[in-house]
Structure 1
Amino acid sequence: MIFDVDKETLPREDLEALQLRRLKYLVERTYANVPFYRNKLDESGVKPADIRKLSDVRLLPFTEKQDLRNNYPFGLFAVPKENVVRIHASSGTTGRATVVGYTARDVDNWAQLMARSFMAAGATSQDIVHNAYGYGLFTGGLGAHYGAERLGATIVPISGGSTKRQVMLLKDFGATVICCTPSYALYLFEAAQEAGIDFASLPLRVGIFGAEPWTEEMRKEIESKLQIKAIDIYGLSEIMGPGVAIECVEAQSGLHIQEDHFLAEIIDPDTGEQLPPGSTGELVLTTLTKEAQPLLRYRTRDITSLDCVPCRCGRTFARMRRVKGRSDDMLIIRGVNVFPSQIESILLETEGLAPHYQLVIRREGALDMLEINVEVNEKLFSDEIKNLQRLEAKIQKNIKEFLGVTAKIKLVEPKSIQRSEGKAKRIIDQRNI
């Protein structure tokens, strides 16, 4: 079953005609109401009337995260502040917070898209949704909350933290759907084990996981341990929040982008040039229906590819492949480009390792050194030292062969790497660069 069947199954020709109408109106509105965009378009020599076909989106200037910071707090609003009913913001840990505004219609659209997302994941109005995404300025909690309510499901707004209590409530309330980061799902599994609760005995059947990169290997780990179907969801605060794209439970073959609301492109992250269909590059999104704070060609920095072939679930929206990493999170170790997700895949394919690790990068003299700290399971930790040393050598060899990087492998005892109740901290960069 499909939630918005008329929209989600539009033939590509009709979908692109809808996108073009909305793109034209979007450019007119931003040019008239947002001085930042009017100046950018004038500098590029582009007028709203120049957008005649969908491919003309390439004429528009990019928007970067720094542009949101430079216009902090409300400089990119396209409506009067009295029309803004909601404000969300990033944490601002790497600079000024990025602020996002919503009109009442924006909030309504967001709820609708999240309801679509829940249904794509296999949820229905009969489900009880345990929502462990954080509430507050972070978009995750309220985005999932409104979507579950719009679907007609029962929502448990537990938010983040209080892990032992979360496990108890999962059991007591009988949640059938859980929303959280994938790393937190594994943390909940550990907490359940300590509390003597068997996840397999719970009615939980679907997990909707996002807010951090995760691999296919981690999906298998979650599905095996929690005995659920693990669904990947994608979103970012600057664009809307969660619900920009999601996998369908029928195929789990790429995340359906809500293309009637977001125009997606793939570009070369170095040159900014559009890449042909199927190419891997940086995802760029344009908000086609956002009223309060529309964004033209926002550079997400997420590395993926797009597939426009209709899915066997019936949806015709383009599917984005699982995010490979971020162009600005890519590690450069002695001239070799490495994404943390590539390392994670190798670690999780190795028997005896737990899905908890950290990458520590430091500089010794003029050289970068990569150390990978990864937990082993209880059985392996009690093994002989020489067997642990053999495993370290094996992991080091695999990483060198597959990624071309020499890394020091350090196997550590179970539960020694700090757990996170939100996004896992995977990288510790100690270089002064």
Structure 2
Amino acid sequence: MFTQYDPESAALTDELRGLFDEFGAGKWSADDLEKHQTDKLREVLAYVRANSPFYREKLSGISDEVISGLRIEDIRNLPFTTKADLQEAQFDLLSLPVSAAWTFYETTGTTGRPTPCPRTNGDTIHNNSVLTAYYRDILAPHGAGQVIGISGPTELHATGDTFGDVCRNLGHAVAKMWPHSPVIGFDRALEVMRLLPVTGLFCTPGMALRLAQKAVEAGLDPRRDFSLNVLMLTGELLSPSLRDNIGELWGAEAHNCLYASQEASVLAAATADGTLRIAPLINLYEVIDPVTGEAVVPGPDGVRYGELVITNLYTGAKPLVRYRTGDMVRMTEAGLGAAVPAHSVEPVGRVRDRLRLNGHLVNGYDLENLLLRHFRGYLDYRITVSHDDAGADLLSLTLNTDPDRDLGDDIARAVASCREELDTALSVDFGDPGPITSTGAMVSWKAARVVDLRAPGADASAESHSAERIAGTRA
């Protein structure tokens, strides 16, 4: 492999493999982890202040003495980095020139200026080491003779490189196929999946649904005519209800496999116990109130709920310090039996994607999970929000499924659950929402999945326009 031709990369790979093996086996104490994070935090702060024009100014009031004595809890005294900072600073946020990276990625730019996301060998090795360590026990039960499909974009995007490298680390063959590409298309992608056959698939939830829909339109049965054993789903909001439906459609084990972003890289990954777990060896995590910016404390159930803030604990092209992800999460300490001794995390939707329904503020994850809880076998869905003459909010769920199926009991249970939990009336109808639902990974869950009719122009946001434009090219 490449690392054997680069002594520094080879040494880092060997070091990180050992660290992750020891950490995953529970050989690190709390003091060991705190020392590791403290040392790395100080190193990263000194590094970005010396090398990044943005952070040189942002952290100008912090002396070398302060950095050298910084404790983890002191991080709350440092300023946040925001998405707006990334869009404005552009290449000034980098700590190395692009020529020092091995590859260049960028954010999609569908709702603002794309931001540069180059990766050095060190960046990639740190992040892919997490995925290799965490995915090993998920894929191993399915045997050694696997062919893993990767259905994600590759142009200026990390999906294909990242999962391809991780699968190669684990000894699995890879087929990269992007069905939205004019070179491939859905017909050829489905043909390749049957021909090889593909036994595992990395893709978005929307892509898994779209492939199933195209298979059914071609007269195929996703469960009978394909050989998928495991689906590794990422890139979009994914509630347990939708995950289980996708698994049932394909007759495969389905995982919410990765929480990450182009700008912040790997934040959490699936483990063999069925949960997403953070990567505390390479990131420092905070959960804050999105309004006040103050740290949140665990609730009575031990869960911290708020906006995720991360600090990268490795030097490279673009380490981020106290980066506000804009994502709402629920974070829980690892309990007994955890596959990896790290907090579990549920990304439950962007801060701005929350909906207020008859006085209840609900995130996308919980709304999706609630509305889809009683349904299985559908190929797609979309939600419409409106209000009645008295001003009460109403919900309508459109399911792409056989309208002749007897879903009366399922609909009744869904209507009752919605009324009980959100004090909101729900109706269910049938139809194809069209290609706009496939744009969630490019834009947002809300723009792709929700039509809000409660106010004139409510859906006239930049994200909604972007979703419509992308959907138009995919029709």
- Tell me how far 1:57 sits from its aligned partner: 1.5
Q: Deviations over 1:203-249 (max 9, x none)?
A: 42211111011111112212222222111121111111xx4312212
Normalising to structure 2: TM-score of the pair? 0.78
Q: Corresponding residue for 2:56?
A: 38
Alignment partner of 1:6 out of 6, 13, 22: 22
Separation of aligned partners in 1, 2:334 and 2:88: 39
- Tell me how far 1:335 sits from its aligned partner: 4.8
Q: Is the 8 A contact 2:304 2:332 kept in 1?
A: no
Q: Deviations over 1:379-402 (max 9, x none)?
A: x4477xxx97x9878755532331
Unpaired runs of 5+ residues, structure 2, are 1-16, 459-475
Separation of aligned partners in 2, 1:294 and 1:147: 22
The 1:204–1:422 alpha-carbon spacing in structure 2 relative to 1, beyond 3 Å, is farther
Separation of aligned partners in 1, 2:254 and 2:376: 22
Separation of aligned partners in 2, 1:86 and 1:53: 33
Whether 1:258 aligns to 2:274 is no
Q: Is the 8 A contact 2:46 2:64 kept in 1?
A: no
Q: Corresponding residue for 2:202?
A: 179
Q: Is the 8 A contact 1:218 1:355 kept in 2?
A: no
Q: Deviations over 1:102-151 (max 9, x none)?
A: 12221233332332343143247643211012211232222212222232
Separation of aligned partners in 1, 2:88 and 2:80: 15
- Tell me how far 1:370 sits from its aligned partner: 5.1
The 1:267–1:329 alpha-carbon spacing in structure 2 relative to 1, beyond 3 Å, is same
Separation of aligned partners in 1, 2:405 and 2:24: 53
The 1:391–1:198 alpha-carbon spacing in structure 2 relative to 1, beyond 3 Å, is closer
User: What does residue range 98-247 of structure 1 map to in structure 2 within 5 Å?
Assistant: 98-123=115-140, 126-161=145-180, 162-193=185-216, 194-200=218-224, 202-232=226-256, 233-240=258-265, 243-247=266-270
Q: Corresponding residue for 1:312?
A: 337
Separation of aligned partners in 2, 1:167 and 1:38: 50
Q: Corresponding residue for 2:319?
A: 294
Q: Corresponding residue for 1:79?
A: 96
Aligned length: 419
Q: Corresponding residue for 1:64?
A: 82
- What's the secondary structure of 1:296's corresponding residue? coil
The 1:182–1:153 alpha-carbon spacing in structure 2 relative to 1, beyond 3 Å, is same
- Tell me how far 1:8 sits from its aligned partner: 2.9
- Tell me how far 1:372 sits from its aligned partner: 2.5
Separation of aligned partners in 1, 2:168 and 2:102: 19
- Tell me how far 1:183 sits from its aligned partner: 2.5
Separation of aligned partners in 1, 2:46 and 2:253: 43
Alignment partner of 1:426 out of 420, 438, 449: 449
Q: Is the 8 A contact 1:114 1:146 kept in 2?
A: no
Q: Is the 8 A contact 1:257 1:318 kept in 2?
A: yes
Normalising to structure 1: TM-score of the pair? 0.85
Unpaired runs of 5+ residues, structure 1, are none
Alignment partner of 1:95 out of 97, 112, 121: 112
Q: Is the 8 A contact 2:49 2:56 kept in 1?
A: yes
The 1:154–1:382 alpha-carbon spacing in structure 2 relative to 1, beyond 3 Å, is closer
